[in-house]
Structures are given as C-alpha cells and as structure tokens.
Structure 1
C-alpha cells in the first residue's frame, strides 16, 4: 500500500505535470495566428496516418481520413460560394461526421452553428434565427424537428440532408489544400456558434473563435497528458463545447482517438469502455450519479481507465464513485463556453472545482466578489466598487477581461444586449471590466475553489441566504433519497422565499427519518419547508434537472398530482399538503 507521504508526492507530481503540460501545449498558440485547429488536423493526418481518430456507432475515421473529410467539407463550402462571415447550421447526431463538418467548414471562414438535436418547433427556430445561417445541414433522423421549426422562421435557410450531401462530398478532392484555396482565416475569427443551455430562458448563441478552439483542445490535451495510445470515451452532446470540442479535440491533438456515442446509457457504458479499450472517460456530474445509482455491472472494474475528467462531480458522491469503479485519478475542471477563465483541480482535491496554482497567481483573471441576493448583482461599497470575498465566504466568480485576442477576451453572443449583460464594469477600479459567471463559489486558504450555487438559484429566507446545491447535497445523503431538486417558492405575507425540495425516492425512505436527518445536517432556515415526491425529473441533454416547471407549480396541490408535504412545526413532522392546508398557509392562518 502506498504511504500517505508517497501519495501526496505522487499527487503533487501529477499536478505539476498537468499544469506544465498544459502550458507547454498552449505556449505558442498566439504566436502563429494562421495555425487553426483545422490546419492542425492536416498535420495530424500526415503524422498518424491510419491510426484511429474518431470511433462512432455508425462509422470511424482515421487521422488521415478525418483530415481528408475535413478538406472535402471545406471544398464543398467554397463550391457553394461560402467563405469568411457566412454561417451554416449543423444539426447532426454525435459521430465522426459531426466534427469533420465543423472543422472543414470553419477552415474557410464559415461560422458553424452547432444546433441542439433535441430542440423542436419555436425553440429550434429561435436558435436557427440567432445564427442567421444560409444553409442548414441536417441528419435524416431529425427531419421532423426541422420541418416543425420552419413555420416559425421569417427567413428559411437552404435545407440539406446529410445523406444527400455525403454523395456530393465523395466526389470532391480529398487531397492537400492549395494556397489559392485558403481564405486567410486566423485565430481571431469566429469558428463556431455554441448555445447556452437555456435552462432559465431562451438559449443564446455564444461566439467561439478559432483561438478558443485551439486553446480548449491543446490546454486539455496537456492537462490530460493525452498520447497516441489513449482512447477517450464521450457520450456528451457534440453541440456543446465539452462534447463537441474539448473531449474529442484534447485526445485527437495528442494522436489518440475519441470514442463517440450518440447518447448516455448506464446499462451499456462499461461494455463500451471495456470493448473500445478506453483509457479516459469524459463525464459531467449527473452522469456519474446515474452510474453510481445503477445496478452493479460485471465490467465496471475490468477497464483500462487511467483518468476520468469532467465537471460537476459533487462532493457527496465523489469518493463513492471513484472507489466503486476503481478510477485511478479524477481531474475536475470548471469552465463555460463563453467564459473568460477556467479552473482545474489537477490535485484531485475532493469537492473542489479547481484552483489557480501559485506560479500562475500573478496572471490569474479570477476573483470572488460579494453577492447581493436581493438585487441579483454584486454588492458594492461606499466608493461604488465591488467588495472582494475573503477565504471561506461565498461570492460570485468573475473573470478579468482583456481586449486582445486570447482566453481573457469576452467574445460575446450574437445578441449585443445579452453580451453587455454579462459584463461587470467599475469593479475594483474605475473603467475596468470583468465577466460575470453567474456562479457562487468559495475559495479556501490554499486557493481551492468549490461551487456553491448559481446566482439565480440562491434565495433568501428568514434573513439568511440559502444555497440550493448545498441543501440538495444534504438531501442526497438521506436514506432513500435518490435525487433532489431544491428551489425557493413565494409564500404570501412573508419576506424572501421558502425552501422547497422535489425528491425521487427509493426503498428505505421515510418522512420522519428525512426530517431528523435534515435537522442534524442543516440550520433551520435552510431546511425545506415543502416537499414534492416525484417519479422522475425532466432533464436537459446534459442531465441537469429542469427546475422552471417545478418552481411555477410551487406548493399548490391544484397544479400537480404528485404528493406534497409541509413541515408543520406544531406537529414536528412533514404532513400531507392538501387544498385545505394550502388555503390556510396562503391565507396566513398557518405560521411558516
């Protein structure tokens, strides 16, 4: 067994190697403004030839094959008269062609909008309109979704079915690009439009430059130390930044292969990982929770994994996930598609989203400022400037902005109004500008950041701030609770919002036991006043629960058929919440 000292030394070595590897991989990106990821794919095709690059369910591409298909897509765009400034929408399922398409199109200056394959109707039409594409490339299985969006579009792009386009691509030259075919695309140019999740409103199309694409792929290649023998497993949607750029890009630029699956399956997950000889898995936190809640699988410890990398792994399941599935190392990170900063937990500190290492502290763009839950904005002192949070105090994470091309430049959205809303001005000095992440965090004295809540999710009750994620974590530790969603609801005649929790439960769940558990875990003001027991939750494509419908229904039994309960202080128990009790609470006859 490894000694505690040896374990610390090994973790320190991995941490230093991760940071230095990332710095080495990204050091020269800005010095070669013409060297975009599509051009790097050409180099990788020559270097690694027929070694696998993308392994999908419907086909695979070698490094040479990926480079060739990218060039075919680029030549198709040129033949259509598309070039710098033009936009094309891409709505394809996860697979090798999806990455080849956006790489090839963006090589000649086309801005590629990665459209959510789960959207339909007006929601899909909104996202298409935000990018204003001239062409829309769609997988045949998504025909109904596109046809349903058409009536909501004032201007309709030219629709191309992917299987029809495949024939046109096959007829094009896959060989090296001639100088006359290049379009002068540089790192400063926009490569992609990637959409925010839209969990609290309509999605926004974030601009993603070639510089950002290069930085994401090479930075994470360095952190993950990817090489030609690596295979990274990802079932995350390729229309998001992690599933579409970070995960496949980080292993491809290292000479390895990305194993792509069209959707997550807890039943099939370990079969795939073992069969494809994967060495890395890309996760998001809820994926880990689903695996942990799944029945035992005969191959769940028979893998060749060396690393699990991702974001959102909650501290309450971290160690259980790592132990049950024999994961040698976890690399948690924090980032946002449109954000200007990222944090990486290369040391593997349980529950931390990352930290800024001491040797990079002088150049760190990260800061925490005090948050005012009443206004939803950072609090300001008598001089009008924002207030920094000391270690241990929760505050909003912000990132310093720079004007020059690079990771600290805010590239914004296609909507200028939405872009301006994310910028915080006159923060620590008149005239400075910082990016608002909308995330509340704490930092400890060693510099490790931990996630607390989203700004809009934290609410105030009994004069205290309640962080929904911390309450949800306490609920998740209660016997019989499988999932928990926490939110605030308005109660007439009271200030702030009262806590409410929607739960899915299993055998062993008891209301009395839950109440006793919460009394031991949480202060009185943070304990949910109302409970809703659900069969399951509606989730986003990245496994985040959709809260809005729950919030709108509140604790009104007329708006749901799910069982509701009220924490009755007089009885010292959660009691059934029916129409009569609801009326008494709303009328002020019951003290809350």
Structure 2
C-alpha cells in the first residue's frame, strides 16, 4: 500500500514539474517505477542505518571490535598461503595501537604508510585509527620527487614501510632526514634492516595485544581516519581527507546495493592505497565481516586462478583491468571456471561490457561512479551496459547531484543571463556536480589536506545565492530514463573543426579496432588553427600495425572530426597505480618531431591511411604553409 501512495505522490510531483510532453513523462515514469522504488527503498534503509551510526557516534574501530567479539575465529584475510582470522587482525592492530601510543602518538597525528598489499597493511592503519592517528596511504609505486611530494604534503611523524620497498626509502631518506622510519616485514618475509630505521616487527613482538578500549571510545564519527591520494592523472597527487563517517557511508551502501553479506568472499588485486581497495574492499571485511582475498598486484593470468583458489564470489575491478583480462584470454575458447558471481568497481568500458560479461559468465556488474574526495556517488544496480548509475527523474527536485552546461573543451561551467549555472536537459552532456551539505555528514565535502586545492573544487552560487557544489571535473550525460553515462574528464574533451571530441570514445573505438591493445587519445595545439587536433599514441611492440587498414577502420567508425590527425607509435602506455592511462606528458610533447624519438604519422584523408610525418611536413605545418 505504501508503494502505491509513494507512486501516486511521485507521479503528481513529476507531472506538476513538467512543462510539456506529459504522455512521454507518464510512459517513462511507469517504465522505471519498479527500478526506482527499489532504489528508494535501498536509500531509505541506508539513511536509517547511517542515522544509527551518527546517534551512537560509531567509528571503524568501534564497529570492528563488536564484529570481532562475534566472529573471532572466522577467516578475515587470505593472502598467498596465509590465512588471518578476525582475532588475529584484532591482535596485530592492538599491538600497533599500543606501541605507537607508548611512543607518544596522539589523536590527530599523521603516519605515512608505504607498503604493498598484505594483511599487515590493513592491521597498521586499523591499529593507528584505534588511538585516533590518521594514516596517509602513500602510493607504493612512487619514487623520487612524487614520493617526496606525497609524504611532505601530510607532514607525518613517521613512515611505516614494507621491507620490500626499503631500497626506495633508502634512496629518498636524505630528503626526509627528520622523519622517523619503521620497517615492517611480513610473516614469511626476511629482509635486511635499513641502518636509519627501526625494526617494527621486533617492537611489536614485545607489545601487548590488549584492546586500547578507552582510546577507541573517544573516537567520533567526524574524526579523520585516512588520507587517500588522488591518482595524479592531471598533476601531482593530492591527499583527500577520509573521515570515519565517509568510510561508514561506503560500508553502509555497499551491502545495501549489492546484497553482499559476510558469507561472500571478495577478491582484491587493486592497491590498498586507493579508495576502491581501501574502502570498498576493507569495509566488506572490517564492517560487514566478509572475508577478503588479497594479491600484491593485479595479474591477468592469475586473476581467475586466485578467485578459484579462495572460492571468491565477488571481485573488484577498476580502470583497464577488464580489458586486460579480455586480452589475456582472447585465444582461450574454453569456458573459464570460477565462483565469481558479482563484479564491483568502475571503468568497465561500454564497448566491451557485453563481451566481458558473456566471456566470463558474470551474473551482475555493479559499475560505480564517484571519486575519492567527491561528495556524491552512484551505482548501476540493474546491469544496464555502460551506465555508471541512475537516479529517478521524478526525484530530481530532491537529490543533490546535477549536470550543468559547460565549455566542453575546458569543462568551465557556463552561467545564464540570470547569473546562475544552467542545468542540462536529458541527452545533453554536462559537468557533474554535487551539492555540499555544510552541517550534515551525508553530502559533506571534506576536501584535501591542502586547503587551497580544496577551494578550487568548489562552485558557489550555482542555482541560488549561497549554495555550494563540488565540481567533479567529469563530463557525464543522463538519458530520459535517468541513467548516467560517463563521457570524459576535464582536459580530455577537446574541440576540433567546431565539434567536441570525447577522447574516451575515440580510445574505445581504437581499442576495439586494434584488438584491445593500449591506445591513448588527446588534443594537441596546431599553430594557426582553432581548438586542438586529435592525436593518438598506440602501442605496437611487434610492428604489426597496418596503417592503411587502421585508417580505413577509423573512417568507418568515427566522424571525420574525431579521427586522430596525428599518430604516435609507442612501446608502452604509462599507467597510474590504479590502471588509468596517463597522457599529460604525451599531450605536452604533442607532435613535436624535434623532441619525439617515436615514429610519427599524419592522417592522409585522400588515401584514407596514415603517412609518415617528415621534417618538411612538420615545418610546413608550424609555419602555416600547410593548413589543417
């Protein structure tokens, strides 16, 4: 009965706020009603659950302590040949808490964690959180200046590093002379100790594993828990603030939307310094009570083998992982046996969605849209290929996410004649923004450690005086049914021949044409022309690329303005630690034949092929003798 009442009220509001085409609106309303009411029910349950967390001022350590009391002997973490029970995680994390408390570490202090995936990683930051110490999860792939930047950005009192990374720390130790170093080895790991470091394993062997109950009780929902860095695709990484409340919102939403329980075993080969690994994976373990299986680094050849080994029912993915799995099994015509029923993550390209699901017999893909620091997230709950989430169109007047019109090349939002930003219509791509709640934890934007960087992500006076929104920097589009689709990131969309070109769409076409090999597309400046010309960097290690066939395939699959004018053949594509394609350096180098050692080509529209870019042609382009 309550669903009937809600439906009638929703329909009335929907039609009342509609200006035209009510018959179409009614059709859409009833077509999506079952889907939408299911989502509304989930959201209500999430709000109630989170309200309980707020009332009790729960934190991650508080909830984990309750979990352990009822599940102490259950397996919590699988790693290589190791198995850790919940009690073992509790004991190790208690040792961490007690040791650093004895050294004078207090609530609000910061510790940098620089370690590969392993059970101790989880225990370190969990233990530190028990005494209110914030852990900065430093990307373990970093070296040199980027590593020093990440460390100095948070001013830690010490660095805890894994023994496998001691050489990286050794090479950087002169630049961080006043920071205490602790070296931590795994259970079956033996390594020499750096001269300037202390052996944390020895210290912990002498420490009590009693729970620091009084310290845990002092924790609040708003307390800072972690610093998780952005991927650094558009510059140096920034340390985003993750509170207990933010972590518990993820912990609330994941089981509510995916129906995962503590009986589900989750496979994670993603880095634990990234939000997917740190929050999606570890919330399943530390809050829901489900076992997790960790791998140090993603391996396409071992992905399904690991899932079988640990009897995983759900696996995490991000970025290009799904494409790499397809590439690895391209010539494998036999059925791949595994127990995984659900995938959770982000970055599954629409162009390979159906092929991937069919190839690996996946029952449900939960594609997520969100960012580490963002204040709004959504999830695709009904397997709609390519969608990153949806929201009932009849609830548009109450939800906090919006798409606004912007310059598609710069993603700079556009104000209307009334001085406010303009909302996009269905089917119209725009900048995704989320309304910031200043007083409530839900919808709050905590920003970065760097306050100046935080301010740059804010949009003020958006739809009315005084309102504040988070600027995601992402271009999305919403269809009339309420589904959102990712289009591109700030700086990736460029304008050529008066048309907007989304690099992600061109990359997907090239990837399909070249059998899923790596390709990066970006816009480059050409003297004497407006906008940016398209350029593609394609991996061709075996020198097997047929330039004419490639050009003809692009002509058949892309509009003329989207075909990359320049082509660069490279040995490999640089990826972030979270499998996102890096293109900043490529974009800066452009098609400068004087700086680039790689082979360069230019699209020959007359013969529909790519011809070598010679010095003479390059000079003619730069001097304006050749007009593009």
Give the TM-score taking structure 2 as reference length: 0.88
Q: Give how far 1:338 is off.
A: 0.6
- In structure 1, what is the equivalent of residue 17 of structure 2? none
CA contact (8 A) 1:125 1:150 kept: no
Pick closer, same or farther for the CA change 1:358–1:369 going to 2, 3 Å.
closer
The equivalent position to 2:243 in structure 1, one of 196, 199, 209, is 209
Provide the C-alpha distance between the structure 1 equivalents of 2:399 and 2:155, rounded to a whole number of angstroms. 36
Partner of 2:21: none
Residue 292 (structure 2) aligned to one of 251, 258, 272: 258
- Write the mapping of 1:376-525 to structure 2, written as runs, cut at 5 A: 376-480=411-515, 482-505=517-540, 509-525=545-561
1:559 aligns with 2:581: no
1:41 counterpart residue number: 64
After TM superposition, the structure 1 = structure 2 runs for residues 321-360 of structure 1, keeping only pairs within 5 Å, are: 321-357=356-392
* CA separation of 1:61 and 1:479: change in aligned 2, threshold 3 A: closer
Separation (CA, whole Å) in 2 of partners of 1:550 and 1:300 = 39
Q: Quick check: 128-137 or 519-528, which moved more?
A: 519-528
Structure 2 matches for 1:541-580, cutoff 5 A?
541-580=577-616
Aligned to 1:138: 161
- Judge which range, 245-254 or 317-326, deviates more: 245-254
Structure 2 counterpart of 1:50 = 73
Distance in 1 (alpha carbons) for counterparts of 2:401 and 2:272: 28
Aligned residue in 2 for 1:102: 125
- 2:568 is aligned with 1:536: no
CA gap of 1:10–1:446, structure 2 versus 1, over 3 A, is closer
C-alpha distance after superposition, 1:24-77 (max 9, x if no partner) = 6545222221x1111111111111121111112363321122122222221122
Aligned to 2:195: none
Q: 1:289 to 1:25 in 2, by over 3 A?
A: farther
Pair 124,59 (structure 1): closer, same or farther in 2 beyond 3 Å: same
Root-mean-square deviation (CA), in Å? Answer: 2.4
Distance 2:221 2:575 in 1: 35
Q: SS at the partner of 1:482?
A: coil
C-alpha contact (below 8 Å) 2:370/2:378 kept by paired residues: yes
Query: For the structure 1 residues 297 and 186, does the alpha-carbon distance in structure 2 shift closer, same or farther, using more than 3 Å as the test?
Result: farther
> Are positions 1:82 and 2:105 aligned together?
yes
Query: Would you say the 8 A contact 1:281–1:308 is kept in 2?
Result: yes
Instruction: State the shift of 1:485 in Å.
Output: 0.7
Question: Which string of whole-angstrom CA distances, capped at 9 and with x for unpartnered residues, describes residues 177-219 of structure 1?
Answer: 443x446220111111111111221111111111011111231
Contact 1:88 1:133 in 2 (8 A): yes
1: distance between equivalents of 2:532 and 2:451? Answer: 32
How big is the shift at 1:258?
0.7
Contact 2:447 2:454 in 1 (8 A): yes
Q: Distance in 2 between matches of 1:17 and 1:208?
A: 27
Q: Check the 8 A contact 1:15/1:347 in 2, yes or no.
A: no
In the alignment, what sits opposite 2:194?
Answer: none
Post-superposition Cα deviations, 1:202-253, rounded to whole Å, max 9, x if no partner, equal: 1111111110111112311222222232110001111111112211212443
Q: Unmatched 5+ residue regions in structure 2?
A: 1-31, 186-198
Q: CA deviation at 1:535?
A: 2.6
Distance of 1:172 and 1:194 partners within structure 2: 28
Q: CA offset at residue 396 of structure 1?
A: 0.6
| Structure 1 residue runs without a partner (length 5+) | 1-7
Structure-2 change in CA distance of 1:518 and 1:20 (3 Å): farther
Change (3 A) 1:108 1:202: same
- Bigger drift between 225-234 and 181-190 goes to 181-190
> Cα 1:23–1:510, aligned 2, differ >3 Å: closer, same or farther?
farther
**Any conservation in 1 of the 2:258–2:381 contact (CA below 8 Å)?**
no
Contact 1:270 1:300 in 2 (8 A): no
Change (3 A) 1:30 1:298: farther
Q: Which of 343, 354, 364 in structure 2 is aligned with 1:319?
A: 354
Q: Does 1:32 align with 2:68?
A: no
Contact map agreement 1:341 1:366 (CA 8 A) in 2: yes
Pairwise CA distance, 1:129:
0.8
Q: Is contact 2:411-2:431 (8 Å) kept?
A: no
Pairing 1:159–2:181 present: yes
Q: 1:16 to 1:388 in 2, by over 3 A?
A: closer
**Further displaced range: 238-247 or 142-151:** 142-151
Higher alpha-carbon deviation: 441-450 or 250-259: 250-259
Q: CA deviation at 1:557?
A: 2.8
- Paired with 1:362 and 1:383, the residues of 2 have a C-alpha distance of 20
CA distance in 1, matches of 2:242, 2:514: 44
The equivalent residue for 1:3 is none
Match of residue 248, structure 1, among 282, 288, 297: 282
Distance 1:476 1:374, change over 3 A: closer
For residues 366-418 of structure 1, give each alpha carbon's deviation from its aligned partner in whole angstroms, at most 9, with x where no partner exists: 00011114654101112221111101111110000011241311111111110
Q: Offset at 1:17?
A: 7.8
Question: C-alpha distance in 1, partners of 2:605/2:136?
Answer: 53
Counterpart Cα distance in 2 of 1:251 and 1:360:
33
